[in-house]
Amino acid sequence: MVTSTLVISMAVVAVLGVFLMQSIATSVLKSRELAAVEESRANIATASGYLAPQSAEVADASPEGGSGGQAANPVDAAVSALTERSGGRYDVVVFNEGGIGDGRASGKIDYTSIPARLRLKVQGSEEGVLFTQSVTLRYLGTKSPESGLAIGGRVNGTYEIYHLFPLDAEETTLLAVQRVLIGVGVALVLLLAAIAYLVTRQVVTPVRLARQAAERLAAGRLEERLKVRGEDDLARLATSFNEMASNLAVKIHQLEELSQVQRQFVSDVSHELRTPLTTVRMAADLLYESREDFDPAAARSAELMQNQLERFESMLADLLEISRYDAGAATLDVESVDMRDVVLRAVGDSEALAERQATRFELRLPSEHCMAEVDSRRVERILRNLLFNAIEHGEGRDIVVTLGADRDAVAVAVRDHGVGLKPGEENLVFDRFWRGDPSRARTIGGTGLGLAISREDAMLHGGWLQAWGSPGEGTQFRLSLPRLAGSDLRGSPLPLVPPEVEIRRAWRGHVTPVMSPAVAEVGARSLENADAGGFDVD
């Protein structure tokens, strides 16, 4: 605002200054010209008495060049009279067109100061007509040239008389006026900028305070309020902001209380259910062990009850675990372990389920020890959840489990070749009870909390649990953990997008100058066959 005001003010002041300067200069020069013309007319009337024809005849008849006290040369007499009349304020030049004597000039004015064009106008004009022209006055000697005004006219038919008025006084006046205008313009621009700054601050300061208050409110300081001054629009804005903040604080407090009640309810119910569940479990185990003595229908019922009790226990364990995270009671039992052993144990726990789904694991583990400080129980649970999810959505195809490590981190990637994820579902998969396709029947079961608990376990380690997926290309989950407990994780040793997918996309989307389209198509089909056959394309 201040910059715009400053620029516009400078432009306006500059235009007005130029206009005023031109008007003042025109007025001063016009006044000077009118005064000079009147002075010239009076001088011409005086000079006409000295330049009369009879004066010239008397001068010619006098052998000594003079008669009766009159000057021998009327031009000299006229110049002397006019010089005395001017008082040195201007110079006079007189020419005799009839050849009687040479031109005479007062002072040290140079004849060349009179332009030839002006002389031609005077010579071709009638007596009593004056011509004006701006000229540069030149002087004999060391005096420098200066601007001036030349006024010429004819006298007694054969004489030319020119008055040369210097304009140094007018130039000095105009220069002083110009300086005053520049000073006033600069002062006016600065004054307008200062006024704009003060006015802008009156508007910007409340807006800036509102922005800062909004930032603090967004950061969780719900007690933040704005001071209300006056009754203008900014005061109304502050009042509306305070009302919004108060309503927001009340709503957040209500939601926190509701969330706390829900968490407490889940925790209490989960704990209370363990006691009857233990009793039911004991009875179910007794029936399950004696099922061979029952009739087929009762034996099948005992097996179904056993399976559903195992599922119910798993759901109850998940609910208890998520309630611990909600209550902030989850802790780590850190130890230095070989991540290869952790991966192998998780795969071993998942092999029975994989066999029922006709799924095979492909392990890509490093040949050297891969040590890391982790809670092995929680990491195994993360990997089991990832493997169960891959078996559930892998469409019976092979699942690739890759372990990688660098100096600061370790990572495990679980890759399936199933239905994949739609764009935007990479983060939704970690939400509680979220399902990608609600119409798709579950074949394994579960609470819908497995991936949510896995992400909480990864974050408790200071690590990442990320997902990638594409329809028709499957999914890949990557668990990245720091090798030293408590250290910051800056990167992952494994890529989130499978390398074969990147190669396939690059192969299909880009043909190098030395690669023909046919070769590119063969390469893409080879990659597809490699994926379908389950062998390594590296």
DSSP annotation of 89 reads S
Q: Last residue of a domain, which of 139, 172, 205?
A: 172
Average pLDDT, the chain: 81
Average the pLDDT over 223-237 and give the result: 81
* Confidence band of 511 (pLDDT split at 50, 70, 90): very low
Q: Is residue 179 part of a domain?
A: no
* pLDDT the model gives residue 218: 82
Instruction: Say which residues have a Cβ less than 8 Å from residue 132's Cβ, sequence separation at least 6.
Output: 33, 36, 37, 149, 150, 151
Residues 18 and 88 in one domain: yes
Residues 354 and 364 in one domain: yes
The better pLDDT of the pair 238, 532 is held by 238
* pLDDT the model gives residue 274: 74
State how far the Cα of 365 lies from the Cα of 384, in Å rounded to an integer.
17
Element (H, E) at 411: strand 409-416
Rounded to two decimals, the pTM is 0.47
State how far the Cα of 127 lies from the Cα of 33, in Å rounded to an integer.
20
**pLDDT > 90 in the chain, percent:** 22
The better pLDDT of the pair 291, 371 is held by 371
> Rounded to 10 degrees, what is the CA torsion of 252, 256, 257, 260?
170
Q: Is residue 213 part of a domain?
A: no
* Confidence band of 433 (pLDDT split at 50, 70, 90): confident
* pLDDT the model gives residue 347: 93
Q: Last residue of a domain, which of 151, 172, 193?
A: 172
Residues 344 and 389 in one domain: yes
Helices (H), 51-109: 53-61, 74-86
* pLDDT the model gives residue 201: 83
354-378 pLDDT, tens per residue?
A: 898 889 999 999 989 999 999 998 8
Element (H, E) at 159: strand 159-166
* 235 pLDDT above the threshold of 70: yes
* pLDDT the model gives residue 329: 66
CA atoms within 13 A on the CB side of 232: 6
Residues 28 and 71 in one domain: yes
Residue 105 three-state SS: strand
* 388 pLDDT above the threshold of 80: yes
Range of the domain at 491: 334-496
The position carrying tokens 């169960």 is 388
Q: Domain of 368: which CATH number?
A: 3.30.565.10
CA atoms within 13 A on the CB side of 415: 22
Contact 383, 343 (CB under 8 A): yes
State how far the Cα of 100 lies from the Cα of 103, in Å rounded to an integer.
9
Residues 533 and 484 in one domain: no
Q: Is 496 exposed, middle or buried (0-12, 13-18, 19+ CB in 10 A)?
A: middle
Q: Domain of 308: which CATH number?
A: 1.10.287.130
Q: Is residue 212 part of a domain?
A: no
* pLDDT the model gives residue 465: 93
Q: Domain of 152: which CATH number?
A: 3.30.450.20
Phi, psi for residue 152 in degrees, rounded to 5: -125, 155
* Number of Cβ atoms within 10 Å of the Cβ of 346: 23
* 226 pLDDT above the threshold of 70: yes
Residues 238 and 362 in one domain: no
Instruction: Say which residues have a Cβ less than 8 Å from residue 318's Cβ, sequence separation at least 6.
Output: 447, 449, 450, 453
Terminal Cα distance for the chain, rounded:
61
State how far the Cα of 200 lies from the Cα of 1, in Å rounded to an integer.
7
State how far the Cα of 140 lies from the Cα of 108, in Å rounded to an integer.
5
State how far the Cα of 388 lies from the Cα of 391, in Å rounded to an integer.
5
Per-residue tokens: 445: 């079961």
Contact 443, 408 (CB under 8 A): no
Contact 409, 483 (CB under 8 A): yes
Residues 341 and 465 in one domain: yes
Residues 341 and 302 in one domain: no
Residues 118 and 70 in one domain: yes
**pLDDT > 70 in the chain, percent:** 85
127-149 pLDDT, tens per residue?
A: 888 999 999 988 888 778 888 99
Residues 248 and 391 in one domain: no
Residues 373 and 481 in one domain: yes
Residue 47 three-state SS: helix
* pLDDT the model gives residue 538: 39
What is the CA angle 456-459-463, rounded to 5?
140
* 62 pLDDT above the threshold of 60: no
Residue 405 three-state SS: strand
Average the pLDDT over 328-333 and give the result: 76
Comparing 35-39, 255-259, 525-529, which segment has the lowest mean pLDDT?
525-529
Residues 284 and 250 in one domain: yes
* 314 pLDDT above the threshold of 80: no
* 408 pLDDT above the threshold of 80: yes
Residue 495 three-state SS: coil
DSSP annotation of 111 reads G
* 99 pLDDT above the threshold of 60: no
Average the pLDDT over 347-357 and give the result: 89
